[in-house]
Amino acid sequence: MNISESKQGNVTILVAQGKLDATSSPELDKRISSLVENGTRQIALDLAGLDYVSSAGLRVFLSAAKRLKQAQGKLALANLSAQVQQIFDIAGFESILPIFKTVNEAVDACAI
Amino acid sequence: MQAKGDRCAMSDSFSQTIENTLTSLAPLTTAANRFLDQHTVPHEAIFRVNLAIEEIVTNIIKYGYDDTAPHTITVNLALFPDTIRLQLKDDGHPFDPLQTPAPDIHLPLDQRKIGGLGLHLVRETVSRIVYRRENGTNILEMDIARQ
């Protein structure tokens, strides 16, 4: 899994690429935790390059959303592939996580 | 990581036995994916096979045993024209994943539990899932649509 980071205004954009599975998910989890610990409150996740996600990956998104909500921050996701979207649908994540078609929309949603 | 392979490029079946350690998982899925790729199984189906292997094997390794002794888990794949049959065998305590209650996926964020989604994802992405216990072994068989 590859994670890269950029900033647009106050919003931190994380681009996650590759497989988000039991082996790689702790890396993304740590990355998000350390951002939040260091004061980041607005995170947009660009998942265009994410070609696999399991429950271990879903766990990272769920705990990130909980952590940011608690810290009065915002999390938004963008660019889900059809298969990743299907996994989100089965898990009922579309009702608890803001999911957008484009990164710009996700950034705008976080910035509000 | 003492994976025992029994693969052949022209064979329509794949079998691998791994130790019950989480580090065995990545080499197992890599080998299974190589086999599926060689047989031009579509990416969407490979995704579902990976998901079933990861969720079930992880579950067995984390919760399947009442002792700390080394155990093995066997993963078999067989290709049919429309289906991939995945069979997992382990000698852990009896566990029927079909009997676990489905998580409530309609709860709001605050009430959502972290975890508990793995078996739900598998049950929803396979077209058939059957469990049986035979001679002290859990046998879970799943059919995954090839298209």
Per-residue model confidence as pLDDT tens digits over B31-44: 999 999 999 999 99
pLDDT tens, position by position, B125-138: 999 999 999 999 99
pLDDT at B1: 44
Which domains are present in chain A?
Answer: 2-111 (3.30.750.24)
At CB < 8 A and 24+ separation, what contacts does B101-105 make?
A: B105/A90, B105/A91, B105/A92
DSSP A98: -
pLDDT band for position B8 (50/70/90)? very low
Residue B26 has pLDDT above 90, yes or no: yes
Q: What angle do CA A19, A20, A22 make, to 5 degrees?
A: 115
Mean pLDDT of chain A: 96
User: Would you state the pLDDT for residue B147?
Assistant: 85
CA distance B50 to A19: 11
Query: What does the radius of gyration of chain B's CA atoms come to, in whole angstroms?
Result: 15
**Does any CB of chain A come closer than 8 Å to the CB of residue B112?**
yes
CB contact under 8 A, B58 and A23: no
Phi-psi region of B72 (alpha: psi -120 to 50; beta: other; left: phi over 0): beta
Question: Would you say residue A55 has pLDDT above 70?
Answer: yes
Q: Catalogue all structural domains in chain B, each as residue range(s) with its CATH number.
A: 4-145 (3.30.565.10)
| B33-77 confidence digits (pLDDT tens) | 999 999 999 999 999 999 999 999 999 999 999 999 999 999 999
DSSP-derived 3-state class of residue B70? coil
Query: For B78-90, how does the pLDDT look when each residue is reduced to its tens digit (9 = 90+)?
Result: 999 999 999 999 9
Task: Please indicate whether, in this complex, the C-beta atoms of A95 and B22 are within 8 angstroms of each other.
Answer: no
A72 inside 8 A of chain B by CB: no
